[in-house]
Amino acid sequence: MPMRLPETEESRCAKCDSHVTRGFRRVYGDEDNRAHRCHDCDTLIRLRAGSAAGREVSIPEAGEGAGRHGNTTAKEWSL
35 close to 28: Cβ distance less than 8 angstroms: yes
Q: What are phi and psi of 73, to 5 degrees?
A: -105, 160
Q: Where are the domains of the chain?
A: 7-55
Q: What is the pLDDT along the chain (79 residues), one digit of tens a residue?
A: 655 545 566 799 999 999 999 999 999 999 999 999 999 999 999 999 999 999 999 998 877 766 555 555 555 544 4
pLDDT at residue 62, rounded to an integer: 74
Q: Which helix (H) or strand (E) holds 46?
A: helix 44-49
pLDDT at residue 64, rounded to an integer: 72
Q: What are phi and psi of 28, to 5 degrees?
A: -105, -20
**What gap in Å lies between CA 45 and CA 42, rounded to an integer?**
9
41 close to 15: Cβ distance less than 8 angstroms: yes
